[in-house]
Amino acid sequence: MNNKKLEAFALSVTKANVVKTRSTTGVTYLSRFVDLLNGIGEDGALTRVEIISKLSLQIAVETFEDFNFENEEHAEFFAETNRKAKSQVAAAISNSNNNTSLSYNDRFKDKYELNEGKNERGVVYWITEKVAE
């Protein structure tokens, strides 16, 4: 492979690996995050790892009708989804000027509030709807 072809191939692989694309299902990680945590209350609150696991499993089951951890392709997909969900959950929880943050996103910031507590499992999160003032 000549140098130009090698560079072009490297660029296409890099784009595939790093350029964000829209969700193929039309559902964002943040909207999944809200759906998962909204209304569960403090008693049902989840840790970050539990949130990541539930989001990843939801996406895997939607992607593979017959999802099974014993299937190598499915297991690899789940692991990759875990990695993506981890950064998206961290962003959703953060109080930053970023559209993936619950407290900043125009669609959610005035409607929902992220709550944080601690229990025997560690730091846990749940979402409540904001009350109009």
Residue 20 banded pLDDT, cuts 50, 70, 90:
low
Average pLDDT on 52-67 reads 94
Percent of the chain with pLDDT strictly greater than 90: 67
Q: Give the position of tokens 């669609």.
A: 107
pTM value is 0.79
Can you name the residues that pair with 124 across neighbouring β-strands? 117
Rounded to an integer, what is the distance from CA 67 to the centroid of its chain?
A: 19
Say how far apart CA 133 and CA 125 lie, in whole Å. 24
The counts of H helices and E strands in the chain are 4, 2
